[in-house]
């Protein structure tokens, strides 16, 4: 659709906006975001950013870029700009960002008291020394910087700015949000206890910021725009509060070319949809625009064009900042511009992308299966290669795996038959979306259903539980079996590798039972969680709402241990405590009797008795692969079938993102030549240097 046919309601989002010496073509601003690839996967990151350029973003940023080895946050994999040899990787990214007229920005970070330097082994340098403040509680302390150190850090920032300019960036952003950057450490009385001219009054605490902004302007002769990314509100009596931020902006409104504002900690800023709605930071940012002539950008997991317009029209924001919405749909701006609202793949707010960074893996996105595979596998968020030699594919099961497979196969041009046993599309997300706090997860099904329904080459059959004979008789050349998984009832997971003795007199339920509307509606319920992700705590909330007294038993030392990777763990534990759930940590049931469970401490083995009227086991899942094995046992080649594959949860149960990825992979690889033992993705290997002594600087 040409631009002049754009709905005029959204024109305001496409106005060019000046940022100091640069002009952004529109108000869509991809704020810095990590991706788990960083310096290890430079081309993968560059291609990922290119899709955002193609998708119409006006400004595109890198992830955190560490300016000096005295401050790095291993094990998290970000970017480095430590020496000139780091420039080419960043230049590749800047080129990709600018490929469709976006401005390219680099976020420069000096982590100070947040950087343990586990890789560089340098002594960490902090505004005020003390224990390193990280997610991993590293047993390391930082030294308090003196005036000479401050001069050094200013010079390192200046060097990084020069390298950024050489790499081709239009904007440099100094990082002082989320508690991660030294700018915030200077501003906050919690991390700045100095008594010299850099501590005490707000004017003093702001000195370093003024200096590095001035240095950057001088270094680039004003050619680059300079932005500040600051926390909207740091909690605690000594924290850099929203009121202080407002005072600071009032005093220094014209210091940067743009204010980029993000809530206090990363957990608060990137809350999941379970705990934070769209536009959750509005109260903290409203009114700040009046304090400055510079544009203001803020985030809020914005996926609704109407909400974006409201943010701008009501004077809250100038730019619509987005990290996760831009990951889930790099083409969000273009789809709004072209009026293709049904094609928008909305972020579901699950933070699986964040978990890629937290685990040192590479980030995935539940919704955008191409995320971080743009270069590694040549996948594109919205396009797939045309089909191969075959014509027809049967996909059995319409959960996230089957829906994604059917959608991508349909896009490739195959004739697809999608058979689903139940009366609804979506599989597990059709059920999980009804659980407390998980309604946004329904978007996984809604987007895919919306895409395949109009496709003439995809036929959908509901209430069609296929038998092995049905599969053979349907006459498709390829069969993908995506029949999902079911929760176990016997306590087997990580702690118990074999079933535990269970008295049939005590009712035992699984998450599937509860999602089907069964299970207790009162009395005392023991919920045993050896899954450690979201399901246990979500069901605990549901049981409390049903009137049950819930005893939450887990072998882990904290509830929902893995949700540390989705930044939810503290919120989940707080929520359970607040609603009256009793926690039994580092405990597992040894047996379940008629009215009780015998628990054992996972460290000492000491036993205790827990009275219970019912038990809910949130442990592990069994693949539903019976259909697959039954088909394989028949003469399927004789029926003209060329391949039968088991995919998604039916092969190996995992998070929803693993399921959508499996569907995409199946569709991408159909009719492709077998790669044998060759890697299924591209990767970069570090350049080997000759064995020569370290040269003087």
Identify whether the C-beta of residue 678 lies closer than 8 Å to the C-beta of residue 370.
no
Residue choice 271, 397, 410, 519 for contact with ligand ADP (CB under 6 A)? 397
Residue choice 219, 357, 420, 668 for contact with ligand ADP (CB under 6 A)? 420
Residue choice 55, 179, 271, 402 for contact with ligand ADP (CB under 6 A)? 402
Q: Compute how many other C-beta atoms are within 10 angstroms of the C-beta atom of residue 198.
A: 19
Question: Which lies closer to ligand SF4 via its Cβ, residue 367 or residue 537?
Answer: 367
**Which listed range, 183-191, 360-368, 416-424, 592-600, lies at the site for ligand SF4 (CB under 6 A)?**
360-368
Question: Which lies closer to ligand ADP via its Cβ, residue 53 or residue 482?
Answer: 482
Q: Which of residues 387-406 bind ligand SF4 (CB under 6 A)?
A: none
Torsion, Cα of 394, 396, 398, 404 (10° steps):
-50
The CA distance from 270 to 430, in Å, is 25
Give the CB-side neighbour count of residue 318, counting CA atoms within 13 A: 23
Bridging pattern class, strands 596-601 and 607-611: antiparallel
The yes or no reply on residue 538 touching ligand SF4 (CB under 6 A) is no
Residue choice 280, 421, 544, 583 for contact with ligand ADP (CB under 6 A)? 421
Handedness of CA 537, 538, 544, 549 (dihedral sign): negative
What's the closest the beta carbon of residue 48 comes to ligand SF4, in angstroms? 12
By a kind-dependent CB cut-off of 5 to 8 A, residue 397 interacts, out of ligand SF4, ligand ADP, none, with ligand ADP
Q: What is the 3-state secondary structure (H, E, C) of 166-178?
A: HHCCCEEEEEECC
Question: Which lies closer to ligand SF4 via its Cβ, residue 352 or residue 527?
Answer: 352
Question: Which lies closer to ligand SF4 via its Cβ, residue 359 or residue 422?
Answer: 359
What's the closest the beta carbon of residue 444 comes to ligand SF4, in angstroms? 8
By a kind-dependent CB cut-off of 5 to 8 A, residue 428 interacts, out of ligand ADP, ligand SF4, none, with ligand ADP
Binding mask 614-653 for ligand ADP (x = CB under 6 A): ----------x--x--------------------xxx---
Q: Which of residues 38-57 bind ligand SF4 (CB under 6 A)?
A: none
What's the closest the beta carbon of residue 325 comes to ligand SF4, in angstroms? 7
**Which listed range, 58-66, 96-104, 286-294, 390-398, lies at the site for ligand ADP (CB under 6 A)?**
390-398
**Which listed range, 137-145, 244-252, 392-400, 577-585, lies at the site for ligand ADP (CB under 6 A)?**
392-400
The yes or no reply on residue 446 touching ligand ADP (CB under 6 A) is no
Contacts of 627 (CB under 8 A, 6+ apart): 396, 466, 467, 468, 471, 481, 483
Q: Which of residues 479-508 bind ligand ADP (CB under 6 A)?
A: 482-485
CA 429, 434, 438 angle in degrees (round to 5)? 70
The yes or no reply on residue 659 touching ligand ADP (CB under 6 A) is yes
Retrieve residue 147's tokens. 């005036």
E strand segments, 360-500: 392-396, 415-419, 458-461, 478-481, 485-487
The CA distance from 512 to 458, in Å, is 29
Identify whether the C-beta of residue 121 lies closer than 8 Å to the C-beta of residue 115.
no
- Only one residue has tokens 């992979």, namely 665
Retrieve residue 558's tokens. 């904290």
The yes or no reply on residue 1 touching ligand ADP (CB under 6 A) is no
Retrieve residue 663's tokens. 């569907």
Residue choice 184, 366, 408, 417 for contact with ligand SF4 (CB under 6 A)? 366
Binding mask 299-338 for ligand SF4 (x = CB under 6 A): -------------------------x--xx----------
The yes or no reply on residue 350 touching ligand SF4 (CB under 6 A) is yes
In the chain, the largest separation of any two C-alpha atoms, in whole Å, equals: 84
Q: How many residues bind ligand SF4 (CB under 6 A)?
A: 13
The yes or no reply on residue 657 touching ligand ADP (CB under 6 A) is no
49-86 exposure pattern, b = at least 16 Cβ within 10 A, e = fewer? bbbbbbbbbbbbbbbbbbbbbbbbbbebbbbbbbeeeb
The answer, yes or no, to whether the previous bond of 663 is cis (omega within 30 of 0) is: no
Residues that bind ligand SF4 (CB under 6 A): 324, 327-328, 347-353, 365-367
Q: Which residues bind ligand ADP (CB under 6 A)?
A: 396-402, 419-422, 427-428, 464-466, 482-485, 624, 627, 648-650, 659
């Amino acid at each position: 659709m040409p631009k002049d046919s754009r709905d005029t309601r959204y024109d305001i989002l496409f106005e060019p906006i000046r940022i100091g010496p640069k002009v952004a073509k529109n108000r869509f601003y991809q704020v810095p975001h990590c991706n788990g690839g960083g310096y290890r996967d430079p081309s993968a990151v560059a291609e990922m950013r290119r899709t955002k350029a193609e998708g119409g973003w006006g400004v595109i940023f890198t992830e955190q870029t560490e300016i000096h080895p005295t401050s790095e946050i291993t094990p998290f994999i970000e970017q480095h700009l430590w020496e000139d040899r780091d420039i080419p990787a960043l230049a590749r990214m800047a080129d990709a960002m600018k490929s469709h007229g976006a401005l390219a920005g680099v976020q420069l970070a000096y982590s100070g008291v947040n950087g343990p330097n586990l890789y560089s082994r340098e002594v960490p340098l902090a505004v005020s020394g003390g224990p390193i403040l990280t997610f991993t509680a590293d047993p390391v302390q930082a030294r308090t910087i003196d005036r000479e150190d401050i001069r050094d850090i200013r010079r390192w920032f200046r060097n990084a700015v020069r390298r950024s300019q050489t790499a081709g960036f239009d904007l440099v952003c100094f990082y002082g949000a989320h508690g991660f950057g030294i700018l915030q450490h200077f501003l906050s009385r919690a991390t700045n206890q100095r008594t010299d001219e850099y501590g005490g009054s707000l004017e003093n605490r702001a000195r370093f910021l003024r200096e590095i902004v001035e240095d950057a302007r001088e270094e680039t002769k004003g050619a680059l725009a300079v932005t500040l990314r600051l926390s909207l509100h740091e909690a605690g009596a000594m924290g850099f509060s929203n009121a202080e931020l407002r005072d600071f902006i009032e005093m220094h409104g014209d210091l940067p070319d743009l204010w980029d504002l993000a809530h206090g900690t990363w957990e608060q800023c990137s809350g999941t949809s379970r705990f934070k709605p769209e536009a959750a930071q509005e109260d903290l940012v409203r009114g700040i625009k009046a304090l400055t002539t510079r544009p203001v950008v803020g985030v809020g997991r914005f996926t609704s064009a109407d909400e974006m317009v409201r943010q701008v029209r009501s004077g809250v924001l100038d730019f619509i900042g987005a990290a996760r919405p831009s990951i889930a749909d790099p083409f969000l701006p273009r789809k709004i511009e072209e009026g293709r609202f049904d094609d928008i793949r909305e972020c579901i707010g699950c933070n699986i992308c964040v978990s890629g960074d937290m685990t040192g893996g590479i980030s995935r996105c539940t919704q955008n299966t191409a995320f971080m595979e743009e270069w590694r596998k040549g996948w594109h968020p919205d396009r797939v290669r045309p089909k191969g030699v075959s014509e027809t594919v049967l996909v059995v099961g319409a959960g996230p795996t089957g829906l994604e497979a059917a959608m991508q196969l349909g896009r490739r041009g195959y004739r697809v038959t999608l058979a689903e046993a139940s009366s609804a599309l979506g599989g597990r997300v059709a059920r999980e979306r009804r659980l407390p706090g998980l309604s946004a997860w329904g978007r996984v099904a809604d987007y895919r259903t919306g895409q395949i329904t109009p496709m003439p080459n995809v036929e959908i059959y509901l209430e069609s539980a296929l038998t092995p004979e049905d599969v053979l008789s349907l006459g498709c050349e390829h069969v993908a079996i995506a029949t999902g998984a079911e929760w176990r009832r016997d306590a087997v997971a990580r702690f118990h590798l074999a079933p535990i003795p269970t008295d049939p007199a005590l009712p035992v339920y699984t998450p599937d039972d509860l999602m089907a509307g069964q299970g207790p509606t009162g009395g005392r319920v023991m919920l045993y969680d050896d899954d450690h992700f979201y399901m246990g705590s979500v069901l605990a909330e549901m049981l409390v709402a049903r009137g049950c007294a819930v005893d939450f038993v887990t072998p882990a030392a904290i509830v929902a241990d893995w949700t540390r990777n989705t930044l939810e763990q503290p919120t989940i534990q707080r929520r359970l405590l607040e609603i009256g759930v009793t926690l039994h940590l580092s405990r597992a049931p040894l047996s379940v009797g008629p009215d009780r469970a015998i628990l054992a401490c996972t460290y000492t083995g000491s036993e205790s008795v827990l009275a219970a009227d019912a038990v809910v086991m949130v442990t592990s899942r069994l693949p539903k692969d019976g259909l697959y094995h039954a088909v394989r046992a028949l003469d399927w080649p004789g029926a003209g079938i060329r391949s039968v594959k088991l995919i998604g949860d039916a092969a190996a149960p995992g998070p929803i993102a693993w399921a959508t990825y499996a569907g995409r992979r199946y569709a991408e690889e159909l009719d492709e030549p077998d790669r044998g033992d060759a890697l299924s993705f591209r990767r970069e290997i570090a350049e080997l240097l000759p064995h020569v002594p370290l040269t003087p600087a």
